[in-house]
A and B are shown apart, each in its own frame.
Chain A
Amino acid sequence: VVSAGSAHTTPDGVWSPDVALRGVHPTKLGLYTATKSTQSFQCLDRSKRIPFSAVNDDYCDCQDGSDEPGTSACSNGTFHCKNKGHIGADILSSRVNDGVCDPECCDGSDEYLGLINCPDKCKEVGTAYKKHIEEQRRILAEGERLAREYAAYGAKQQTDRTTQIAKLETQISVLDGRIKKLAEIKAAAEAYEEKRKAKGQTVESAEQEEESTRLKGKCCPTLEKCREMLDEQIGHNLLLDERIEYLQEGAWNLDSVEEATREDDHAVSNAVDGWEGYKLMYYFFDEETVDEELDTADEQPANEMPITGNDDEQQPKPKPKPDCCTRLKKCKREVDDEQEKHLHLQDRLEALLKVFYHLNDVKVKSKRDDEAVGRAYEKFNDYRLMFRGEKIPPMPDIEELDVRKEASEVPRTTEVPRTKNATEDCNRPDAPLVSCLRQRLQSYSKSLWKQMLALVRTPTAAEEAAMLRVDPIKAKAKFNLAETQRFDLQEKLNHLKKLKDVDFGPAGVWEKLFEQCFEYDAAEYKYYICLLQKAEQKPKSGTAGTNLGTFTRWGRRDDKLTTAANRYKYMMYENGDQCWNGPARSVEVALECGADTKVLSVVEMSKCEYTARLRSPAACDLAIPEQEIEKEAASAAATQSTSSSNRDEL
């Protein structure tokens, strides 16, 4: 029962200092106490002075409500409950003496008029709070620890991705060049094939017949020797391959050199130019295995090599065991090929080394400021350390294998003079790279190189002939393979780029959980949230699921409510299945810190607008101020101790 006008005074109606201090926050007690020097109360906003008797007299005098901390008289004031045994709390003045036991005031001090009896629950609330806060601390600490792990993981992924992308981009650009050339070769070979078919004869038939049986008996021992030579040569080539591979790896970095560095440093510019030239000339042979596969597709004699795959009549015939001479002939061709390759690899290595010799002269600043230059230089240094002193053995002499007394052919090496001078010239640091390379290339009569060369300048008749001997099937296969390879690389690159553009949250902390799906079991449905990917709803009845949206952005559904502070506390999945008479489905996922990742709730707040809560270490701040935890825990404990469901209080 309310009695008249007694709210602000003692039962006998007299003002007392105790009443004056009711609801005052402990830190402000001084302001509410009369001293010798202050005989009146000053509103805390300093707008007014009133006698101390007007403090807590149940009439609002101060505009800021500060004169009535202990009553409900001011609509903008707060009341402090001491909550002895727990933690003090401030509640709105409008909740003082409103007949409701506010959970925040566990001591019941806000209801002193007797409209309701609010027992002091602070002891049990305090105990629950302490327990809760400890648990909370433990969970948060664990969450934060995991968050740091996640962040480290995310950071590494991001670095790896950057490197990968650079490499892939270079590979693709080179491959593009190659594809262009292969297309041309293919076209030429196909055109030639057409022409040849029209003539009705194979290119090599005359030559092969002449060689056939003349020198049969001498062939077998020489074949053995040839085999040894072939093995040796292959070994040498592998050594060269290794070195080239190593240097190339370093050289890819040059693709990422910044324009500014090139302009600033002549040496860098030279290196990059050299590398560009190198790629133009050599990168084709990166796919050596392809050639091998096609070259040695079976054991059939070279002279029986089918011209087209459509020649069905020859297929069922049993193949006779080739004699030594035939095999020798084949072996010699192989050695010949390997040696050609060797020469090529040597050239290639030299060209690469020349690129790197330029790097010897780059400025310290370039190495320091341009990551790409730095890395390339480092790799080159490593190379020098690794392969220092290791010599590539000289090439065996293929002429030893000639079973004919008189050489029927001019040795190939003399076709194009490979003088010491010429080599030395080309080894000079200021040698004109491209012309040197072309010079070398002219020595390979049967290689694709020659054919390629034909494309960059008007081919000689011999070169054209050689080029025309390219099997159109092989040319097509090579081209197709390169295309496929480019497609794969592009796919890989697109994927990486996409990932690179994904905002994995602060310090990339969410990448750890990227595309992981978490389930929530609602009454009729199961919900799936696949992080930073998509959200789905599947009815338990087993009918088709509903797409609730794909991840689009961080922040609130209503983006106007997104702030720098809360941006990473929400994720949006949008553009899901369209609703009848409503919007496309979307989910706003509110994130909270915890030691594990779990969907806590999913609710369809408005038609087709879902709201989910998800707990995860990834949502933990990497460092949370301690008092935040306490505040949160205090509120949670207070709420838990009552039956009220006002979870969001405070």
Chain B
Amino acid sequence: KDIVMVKHGDFKTCQQSGFCVRQSAFADLVDKVPSFGSQYELLPDSLKIDEGKGVVTAHLLDQKQKTPFIFELFLLEHDTARVRIKEAPPIKPRYELLGDLALASSLPASVPIAKVNRTSTGEEIAVHFGVSGKNLLVLHARPFRFELSVNGVPAVSFNDKGYLYYEHSRSKESTPALENQAASAADGNVPVEEGANKDDEITKLQEALNKDLWEETFNGKTDSKPNGPASIGFDVSFPGSSNVYGLPQHASTFSLKTTRGENREYDQPYRLYNLDVFEYILDSPMALYGSIPFMMSHKKGVSSGVFWLNSAEMWIDVEKSKGTGTLSKLASYIPFATSKETSATTTSTHWMAESGVLDVFVFVGSTPNDIFDSFTAITGRPAMPQHFATAYHQCRWNYMDEQDVADVNAGFEKHDIPYDVLWLDIEHTDGKKYFTWDKTKFPNPETMQNNLAGTGRKMVTIIDPHIKRDDGYYVTKEAREKGLFIKDKDGNEFDGWCWPGSSSWIDYTDPAARQYWAEKFQFSEYKGSTPSLYTWNDMNEPSVFTGPETTMPKDALHHGGIEHRDVHNVYGTLLHRSTYEGHLLRSKNEDRPFVLSRAFFAGTQRYGAIWTGDNTAEWGHLAASVPMILSIGVAGVVFSGADVGGFFGNPEPDLLLRWYQVAAFQPFFRAHAHIDTKRREPWLFGEPYTSLIREAIRQRYRIMPYLYTLFWQSTQNGSPIMRPMVSEFPEDENTFGMGDQFMLGKGLLIKPVVQKDQSSVDVYLPKLAVWYDYTSLGKVAPSAAGVLNVKTPLEKIPVLLRGGTILPRRERIRRASNLMLHDPYTLLVALDHKGEATGTIYADDGHSFRFREGKYVLSELSYSSGTLSARGVRLGNDAKLSDADVDALSARVERLIITGLSALPKKVELDGRQLEFTGEKVDGDVYKIVVKDPKAWVGRDWKIHVE
């Protein structure tokens, strides 16, 4: 079968990207020619330290180019160090506005320096900061580099390999100085070991340093590069750490593969450049729809993270090596450091961006959770989603008309399958003019939405950033009048091709454009929209069918004369943001927006959900969805999911079922399909598939109180909803490289079935915990190595409940999740080794921002010594709610299930009231009891005694 896959030739390799060639050549020269070395020096005399504000500044000199830079170090709360290096002064200004667009509106406060040590020469400066000065940042002046350690354990090392290379701004006429430098180094002074071949190689590398400085052509499309070279490269090493994670979006493993050095697993660096990739391939470092220049690493006891605030095209090499780099140097400042190192592997990464400035955040902590918290403190906490948005979504390109919508809705009703949102793709518009409706197919959009709303359901329409160049289209007319479109390099309205044909793109970097866009969502503006209509932003990489690599030319011009190359990766997020703001505007800040985006960047979590883009109905894509969502999740974007069933192609019913079974436990749960595929609504495959898919979706609705609580927790600390094993078990080295199974919150472990006819699956269960089968609630017995083989008939994928968890559920599955908000809870208590468990329930009205005014219920539950205690808690300044308020936002517990008891209790009591219960012995020699209707209200304080 001839399957058309992504054409590699449509997208650049590093060798076809000028700056990637130059930066890679620089790194290779540093490696191969010892005297080439790192060329940056901190000038000790220029050093200024403001201990109170936690700021260190100094001049940095490029010795070869003789160009000056300014070095700035800011120490922040959340164990964060921000390092900024800028040209002083640049010939051409660089783009420095990204912080305003991508970072949280209020950044963590600066922290004072606890202690500073300097060597007598002033060439090494040791800065202690953080709680009791546990973090130590050591700056080295010559060559310039720094290391950061936590409690004496090395965590991060910057410019350890000497790859720092900042292409200073220049005029085209000036001779590039570096070439001469490098040439002279190679010609005379450098002892070359291997003779002629080596010479050739080095000569080639030197030539490569000058590749495509002023113009670059790919696939017949030329980038005019009027500002010349401006790329930046540097290396970051994680001493003693074998794994790095993050850097979404790639269809790759969770623990990133090596791309440099001998035995590298990929022959290309990971690329970050938001692209619309048709039928992307798996297990590849190629760029996809979103880019987050954030990387995390973890070793026992120490976690760290690096975030480069830069929205230009980026390439990142990953290399693993034996040893601990230059840690011996660090050891002189931390005498006890090396003794703590057990692993001899160091992971080094080389970051290369085309333009912008060097503005890097380094985070340290003891677990990945610390890093999630720090990173989202910088890039913003995830938005609290609407309750409905965390339920199941039904989408297809396209539900064709109002009748089709009614029929699909009726199909769900008839087959008693819950769903919350029905989606309309581009065909619903009048000629792909967004904010309009195809009048023949959708003559009565309000009625249609209201019909859905009648059963608590919502609708989503697609709104893309390309605007049809049609004078009769009001958006075109208005945006043109206001000058809100992106311009081409010559200053004319950029004209490219997308769904509607000839189109222009709104310039969301312009505050006026964002404001304009937001206003378009008002009910008076968006005709046919109602309060139950939400939005989907697609093609916002941006996708330009006629552009280089299917996107916007880099020399296109944005507001203020900014080149597209500087803002490419943040563009899609600015649309996402503008739409989010539009939703706020239309409801006067009452209703939480729900906006799905395809492109994403650091900070996207502030605006809503993303999905992994146009995947394919293949088992491999189902498998890939897990590491992809994990990678996106650790980079702050906690609300994401893959198209259930696969976008392209037709899934076999078993693949579709397996997809539903795992997606029910993933943050964003939406079925979607390409217009060329067969219909695949859940009931179309006959039995047993209809029943099994129904059950999979019901699993989702059952755990929605748990899931909603996870979302809320994420708004507090950035913890992903779907978590890698390593973040829940940071002490268990077996989990560090694991990306094919995951945790949903702390309590559930899910391992998908990703192969056809797979009758059993091995699951790794960390020994630190007790585990229960989620279905039988019996205790499972993994092997000594922690492996449990789980039988996986069609109706089952491995889902394990972690001992120590109290998991809130709702067992009354209604047709839509908002109809369940008043229904009683079932509490599932799974005891750990000590016979204890804890859990949290968060509840609010499900849709408004009143939770910010304290209108929420937060119940902390704990079970120990035979007592289940519930305690309603309030945060910060939130005053206590009245009982009536609590009751209105919450519900009673109708059922209490406890498993892991060593014996059947004699009685169960609440406030002296005896409760009915039944009990039985389950697998693993433990007892499970079901307590009938304790009539205990979630959010109030109560205690249930099990004797």
Q: Which residues of A contact B (CB under 8 A)?
A: 1-5, 57-59, 61, 72-73, 75, 92, 94-95, 98-100, 115, 523-524, 558, 560-561, 579, 581-582, 601, 603-607, 609, 643-649
Contacts and interface: CB of A to CB of B under 8 A. Distances in A.
Interface of B: 400-401, 403-404, 406-407, 409-411, 413-414, 416, 440-441, 447, 451, 454-456, 675-679, 684, 686, 811-815, 819, 822-824, 887-888, 891-892, 894-895, 932-933, 935, 937
A645 B407 CA distance: 8
B819 A603 contact: no
A644 B452 CA distance: 9
Contact of B812 (A73, A523, A579): A73
Nearest to A72: B812
Main secondary structure of the interface of A (DSSP, over half): loop
A606 B408 CA distance: 13
B401 A603 contact: yes
Contacts of B895: 59
B650 to A, nearest CB: 9
Most buried by A among B413, B441, B813, B932: B413
| Ranked 6 nearest A-B pairs via Cβ | A523-B440, A645-B406, A98-B819, A648-B410, A607-B676, A59-B933
A4 B887 contact: yes
B404 A643 contact: no
Contacts of A581: 676
B933 A4 contact: no
B416 A604 contact: no
A99 B812 CA distance: 14
Nearest to A522: B440
A601 B413 contact: no
9 contacts: A2-B891, A4-B937, A92-B416, A100-B454, A100-B455, A558-B686, A603-B403, A643-B451, A648-B413
A561 B822 contact: no
Nearest to B887: A4
Contact of B822 (A92, A115, A524, A601): A115
B410 A649 contact: yes
A327 B23 CA distance: 117
Contact of B407 (A57, A58, A582, A648): A648
Contacts of A605: 400, 404, 679
Contacts of B401: 603
Nearest to B673: A606
Given A4-B887, A73-B894, A94-B813, A607 B675 contact: yes
A95 B409 contact: no
A614 to B, nearest CB: 16
Contacts of A582: 676
B456 A99 contact: yes
A439 B447 CA distance: 94
A2 B886 CA distance: 12
Nearest to B406: A645
B933 A58 contact: yes
A4 B893 CA distance: 11
Nearest to B932: A59
B441 A648 contact: no
A408 B414 CA distance: 102
Contacts of B823: 72
Contact of B678 (A57, A59, A92, A606): A606
Contacts of B447: 643
Contact of A560 (B400, B416, B686): B686
Interface-central residue, B403, B406, B407, B411, by most chain A CB under 10 Å:
B407
A5 B676 contact: no
Contacts of A645: 406, 409-410, 451
Given A94-B815, A648-B413, A606 B407 contact: no
B416 A94 contact: yes
B687 to A, nearest CB: 10
Given A73-B812, A100-B456, A523-B440, A649 B414 contact: yes
A643 B404 CA distance: 16
Contacts of A561: 686
A647 B402 CA distance: 13
Given A57-B933, A115-B822, A646-B409, 6 more contacts: A94-B416, A560-B686, A581-B676, A646-B413, A647-B410, A648-B413
Contacts of B813: 75, 94
A646 B677 contact: no
B812 A94 contact: yes
Contact of A603 (B404, B413, B451): B404
Given A2-B822, A95-B815, A579-B676, A648 B414 contact: yes
B676 to A, nearest CB: 4
- Give the residue among A59, A75, A98, A115 with the most B Cβ atoms within 10 A: A98
B441 A609 contact: no
B455 to A, nearest CB: 5
B108 to A, nearest CB: 42
A558 to B, nearest CB: 7
B677 A649 contact: no
Contacts of A560: 686
Nearest to A94: B814
A601 B892 CA distance: 48
A408 to B, nearest CB: 89
Contacts of A648: 407, 410-411, 413-414
A41 to B, nearest CB: 15
Contacts of B812: 72-73, 75, 94
Given A5-B892, A99-B819, A604 B400 contact: yes
Nearest to B933: A59
B544 to A, nearest CB: 21
A342 to B, nearest CB: 74
Contacts of B932: 59, 61
Nearest to A601: B403
A609 B679 contact: yes
A95 B812 CA distance: 10
A59 B406 contact: no
Residue in A58, A99, A560, A649 whose Cβ sees the most chain B Cβ within 10 Å: A99
Contacts of A4: 887, 892, 935, 937
Contact of B454 (A2, A75, A92, A644): A644
A523 B437 CA distance: 14
A75 B859 CA distance: 26
A24 to B, nearest CB: 20
A392 B837 CA distance: 117
Contacts of A59: 894-895, 932-933
Contacts of A94: 416, 812-815
A649 B413 contact: yes
A537 to B, nearest CB: 14
A75 B409 contact: no
A58 B451 contact: no
Nearest to A8: B933
Contact of B440 (A3, A99, A524, A649): A524
Given A99-B456, A581-B676, A75 B935 contact: no
Contacts of B679: 605-606, 609
Contacts of B822: 2, 99, 115
A1 B414 CA distance: 29
Given A59-B894, A523-B440, A649-B410, A644 B451 contact: yes
A98 B400 CA distance: 29
Nearest to B883: A4
A352 to B, nearest CB: 62
Nearest to A92: B416
B935 A5 contact: yes
A98 B823 CA distance: 9
A4 B401 CA distance: 43
A95 B413 CA distance: 10
Nearest to A609: B678
Nearest to B650: A606
